């Protein structure tokens, strides 16, 4: 099946710093979603981005489908941004395959 790799696995930032999270995938995909899992375990959908660039406030994402990667940018990070960020892709099969996640810790 499709392989999804996220990097870095862990990231520690000072409040106000910027960061870039990366997601590589091994095959063509129909869909790519970025999620933030908060400390209570909820998966919050950040972006649906099979290709192109999107922005939502301090967050933006870019997917280059032809090169099979996606980037999530977090600017002016806040302590509430802490948590695990997952990239999930699906192919024609429909089910989502998740990467291992990036654990982000933002220190005040």
Kindly list the residues in this chain that would bind another protein in the complex (CB under 8 A): 30-31, 33, 35, 41-43, 45, 48, 86, 88, 90, 93-101
- CB nearer to another protein: give 41 or 108: 41
* Distance in Å, CB of 14 to another protein, minimum: 25
Within 13 A of 74's CA, how many CA atoms are on the CB side? 27
Radius of gyration of the CA atoms of the chain, in A: 13
Least gap, CB of 53 to another protein (angstroms)? 17
Question: CB of 82 within 8 A of CB of 65?
Answer: no
Least distance CB 108 / another protein (angstroms): 25
**Which one, of 15, 7, 3, lies nearest residue 71 by Cα?**
7
């Amino acid at each position: 099946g499709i392989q999804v790799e996220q990097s870095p696995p862990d990231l520690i930032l000072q409040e106000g710093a910027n960061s870039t999270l990366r997601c590589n995938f091994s095959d063509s995909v129909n869909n790519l979603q970025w999620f933030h899992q908060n400390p209570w375990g909820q998966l919050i959908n950040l972006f649906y981005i099979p290709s192109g660039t999107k922005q939502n406030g301090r967050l933006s994402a870019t997917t280059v489908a032809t090169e099979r990667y996606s980037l999530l940018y977090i600017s002016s990070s806040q302590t509430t941004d802490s948590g695990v960020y997952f990239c999930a892709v699906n192919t024609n099969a429909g089910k989502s395959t998740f990467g291992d996640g990036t654990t982000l810790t933002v220190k005040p």
